[in-house]
Structure 1
Amino acid sequence: MLTDNLGRRFYYLRLSVTDVCNFRCSYCLPNGYQPTDESPHLSSAESATVVRAFAGLGTEKVRLTGGEPSLRADLPEIIAAASDTPGIRRVAVTSNGYKLPRVIDDWRDAGLDQLNISIDTLDRREFADFTGHDCLPKVLEGIDLARDLGVKVKVNAVLLADGAERRLQAFLHWLRDNPVTLRFIELMRTGDNRNYFASNHLRGETIERQLLREGWQLLPRDRDAGPAREYRHPDYRGRIGLITPYSEDFCDSCNRLRISAQGRLHLCLFADQGMDLYDIIRSGDSDAVAERVRELIGHKEPSHYLQQEEVGATRNLAMLGG
């Protein structure tokens, strides 16, 4: 089992397959995608080498992220390779849902178990303003199709101060009859969004206190789960999760590592730099990749230091998939 110097065990790999995104979300890429790294993206075969390496280190869950993963035409091949890897129990994709109705059948046939879709508001006009695309009905249609296929669906919503209560009430109404998990994610500061963060950051604990007052109950956390604290309520078919990176103990239970689309190991989303593994990955030797990761894990810091306003090399969340 891959373990760092603080005894944290890593069951969960977040593998970015592209840093390209077709949305222009106000907190991430308000001016759209601007290429900044000319390094080649990992091929599907190279991605499979990464997954085999991490499976050999005890990883049980793989999440394919971006940018926007659906922009990779070979994503079903990458999903299938991860699903077929011995030791991997769960394969997930995080997507903006733009192509979901067209691609979900292929993803499920390839072995997809779980899907996270980013929806920051259920108001169609506001969604178009946030993302640059008037496609909310299509995204919601894709979620219904995924659920019909037996894919476990979660929805990610970034907490933004202006209009937060209005959006919360709309989501609560939606969750009464929809058996999905909605995860509110506290806005994180990156290198490119300093001013936006200052005017839009809302602490997740504010929402959490409100949910507790209204009878929501905390659920146990799976060991390969992400960082969300999930809550249920007997009157709702859906659940609510909260991801609060500015809480003091957020990093204590870290169980995930990241590989960028360019083959760099990021021990933390907000690390100062990624550690280049591309040449080892390209060799196809998963044992060599695993050994190098084992050597580097000792450099993982105790914290992301967001409270100290350090954001490392993360210019925007599309770089590594958040």
Structure 2
Amino acid sequence: MLRDRFGRSFDYLRVSVTDRCDLRCTYCMPPEFKGFEEPADWLTFDEIERVVAAFARLGTRRVRLTGGEPLTRRHLPQLAGRLAALPGLEDLSISTNATMLARHATALKAAGVARINVSLDSLDHAGMARITGRDSLPSILQGLAAGKAAGFDPIKINMVAMRGVNDHEIDAMAAFCIEQHFILRLIEVMPMGSTGQDSAYLPLHGEYDRLRVKFGLQPQTATLGGGPARYLSTPDGHTSIGFITPMSQHFCASCNRVRLAVDGTLYMCLGQEEKYELRPLLRAGASDADLEQAIRVAIERKPEQHDFTRQPDKIIRFMSQTGG
């Protein structure tokens, strides 16, 4: 198992397959942004497989495919199938905005993707247009229906809660997820890049108490995936509401993940600058042993915690550049 100098174990790798997206969520990417990586600098499927295989040999058991929007990368189900077959990998999942999920859900399930997380910040057409740059709600709802039909269960809904933007819709989203048996995860916005720094932060501790009372929810001790969410469960146990609080109640001491960007850069922390570039090694003919040693060196660079609260303007790269 990979361990850092603070004694934390790392069994979770998030792999960004693209920094492109068909939406422009206000907290993630500016509408005018053009600074995308050139396709020649993207890791190929062979290179991604080599990196993930090296992590798996070192004890990583969970991999999540992210972006940008991962479904904009051509032939993604093929990559998913290759990763799902790797020895040692126990859980392959994907984060998506679901606008293209209706086309790919069946193939992803057949390839071995076990779980999907869907970004959905509003159930209002105008609200989605304001947040994502266009009315993406119809295609997302179609994607969710296709995900259910393909057999993904449970499906997690990620809602970034923002004061004065969509906080008035939290109850409606909770009711929708309870009705559909989706797992809702409310997420505090992080000050990454100008988009995140300009977003209206909403601490979630008040929402935790309010939703617990309103929907008769109970604290849940069972974990749901490898993430940091704290969950409340409905009395019948059919669904849960999670709270991800990187700002008001950070979970750095139990962090279990690193992120691989589309260009092969390993980012150690969303809220710090420590990184390690793997692409030069891969394209210089590094052996598997060289690659594993580079990953160990990278893990040693992981900082103790982020600086979002002390230096909220520190991280100028956008979330889409890091990998969600």
Give the structure-2-normalised TM-score. Answer: 0.92
Please tell me the root mean square deviation across aligned C-alpha atoms, in Å.
Answer: 2.0
1:220 offset after TM fit, Å? Answer: 2.6
Equivalent-residue separation in structure 2 for 1:223 and 1:160 (angstroms): 24
Name the structure 2 match of 1:142. 143
Alpha carbons 1:69, 1:94 under 8 Å: kept: yes
Name the structure 1 match of 2:210. 210
In structure 1, what residue type is equivalent to 2:295?
A: V
Any idea what SS the aligned residue of 2:14 has? strand
Asked if 1:174 is matched to 2:211, the reply is no
1:72 offset after TM fit, Å? Answer: 0.7
Equivalent-residue separation in structure 2 for 1:310 and 1:53 (angstroms): 34
Equivalent-residue separation in structure 2 for 1:115 and 1:37 (angstroms): 25
Deviations 1:258-305 (A, max 9, x none): 111000111112221421111223337333212111122222111011
Q: Percent identity?
A: 34
Name the structure 1 match of 2:319. 317
Name the structure 1 match of 2:54. 53
Within 5 Å, which residues of 2 pair with 1:1-322?
A: 1-38=1-38, 40-152=41-153, 153-193=155-195, 196-197=198-199, 200-214=200-214, 215-222=216-223, 225-234=226-235, 237-282=238-283, 283=285, 285-310=287-312, 312-322=314-324
Please, which runs of 5 or more residues in structure 1 have no aligned partner?
none
- Relative distance call for 1:284 and 1:183 in structure 2 (3 A) is farther
Give the structure-1-normalised TM-score. Answer: 0.92
Alpha carbons 1:180, 1:238 under 8 Å: kept: yes
Equivalent-residue separation in structure 2 for 1:154 and 1:89 (angstroms): 19
Equivalent-residue separation in structure 1 for 2:191 and 2:97 (angstroms): 20
Alpha carbons 2:190, 2:196 under 8 Å: kept: no
Alpha carbons 2:127, 2:166 under 8 Å: kept: no
Equivalent-residue separation in structure 1 for 2:68 and 2:250 (angstroms): 28
1:185 offset after TM fit, Å? Answer: 0.8
1:165 offset after TM fit, Å? Answer: 4.5
Any idea what SS the aligned residue of 1:127 has? helix
In structure 2, what residue type is equivalent to 1:106?
A: A
Equivalent-residue separation in structure 2 for 1:195 and 1:226 (angstroms): 23
Q: Which deviates more, 177-186 or 235-244?
A: 235-244
Alpha carbons 1:217, 1:233 under 8 Å: kept: yes
Equivalent-residue separation in structure 2 for 1:302 and 1:223 (angstroms): 24
Aligned residues between the structures: 320
Equivalent-residue separation in structure 2 for 1:143 and 1:288 (angstroms): 41
Alpha carbons 2:157, 2:184 under 8 Å: kept: yes
1:249 offset after TM fit, Å? Answer: 4.4
1:21 offset after TM fit, Å? Answer: 1.3
Deviations 1:186-233 (A, max 9, x none): 011012236623xx1101112112123343222235496112112211
Deviations 1:108-167 (A, max 9, x none): 111111111110001122112211232312211211221222223111110110154431
Equivalent-residue separation in structure 1 for 2:117 and 2:35 (angstroms): 25
Equivalent-residue separation in structure 1 for 2:178 and 2:67 (angstroms): 30
Any idea what SS the aligned residue of 2:6 has? coil
Please, which runs of 5 or more residues in structure 2 have no aligned partner?
none
- Relative distance call for 1:172 and 1:126 in structure 2 (3 A) is same
Alpha carbons 1:60, 1:89 under 8 Å: kept: yes
Equivalent-residue separation in structure 2 for 1:248 and 1:89 (angstroms): 29
1:101 offset after TM fit, Å? Answer: 0.5
Equivalent-residue separation in structure 1 for 2:246 and 2:197 (angstroms): 19
In structure 1, what residue type is equivalent to 2:4?
A: D
Equivalent-residue separation in structure 2 for 1:110 and 1:191 (angstroms): 34
Equivalent-residue separation in structure 2 for 1:42 and 1:251 (angstroms): 28
Equivalent-residue separation in structure 1 for 2:166 and 2:114 (angstroms): 31
